[in-house]
Amino acid sequence: FMRNIPLNAARKLGKATRSYRLFPLFYILVLYFGVPAILIGISTLFEEDTKAYTALGIFLVLFIALGMIYFAYWWKYKDGEAQTQQCLATRQKRSAAIENLPSDMEYLKSEFARLKAHTGLADEEVQEEAEEDDVEEEA
């Protein structure tokens, strides 16, 4: 039972990394810089000798604890995990589409030119000039 906890955590981190490339960077920044900074900040509030800083520290601890409880509830019972995976997958697809846009546009232009040559359609500009010449000849 106990050995499955780190294995499952590693699998989930791997899936998150696969669906969103910047996830490891955010993970490292939050876990190794953000969380320790918050904890050090709260501990300094309790080390001050004033009642105001102690009260502020108590409120911050309660706020963070309630936030963590709500996050766990949202993740487990409100389908937060699936929503997060869906959001990360959507962002990754959008990023890939933007990255591939220039090559896709070149492909579409070449296909359009090929189809235009195959069907014998004239360019709109050439066709408009021919129509203008016809109107000038009639006048």
- pLDDT at position 126 is 58
Tokens of 81: 């995990």
Looking at the predicted structure, is the pLDDT value of residue 125 above 90? no
- pLDDT at position 44 is 93
Residue 92, number of CB atoms within 10 A of its CB:
15
Looking at the predicted structure, is the pLDDT value of residue 104 above 70? yes
Integer angstrom CA distances of residue 61 from 34, 35, 39? 15, 13, 9
Task: For residues 57 and 97, give the distance between their C-alpha atoms in angstroms, rounded to a whole number.
Answer: 46
Compute φ and ψ for 125, nearest 5 degrees.
-65, -45
Find tokens 């963590």 and name the residue.
68
Looking at the predicted structure, is the pLDDT value of residue 123 above 90? no
Tokens of 43: 């501990």
Q: Is 15 helix (H, G, I), strand (E, B) or coil?
A: helix
Tokens of 110: 């070449």
CA 39 and chain centroid, separation: 28
Rounded to an integer, the average pLDDT of 37-57 is 92
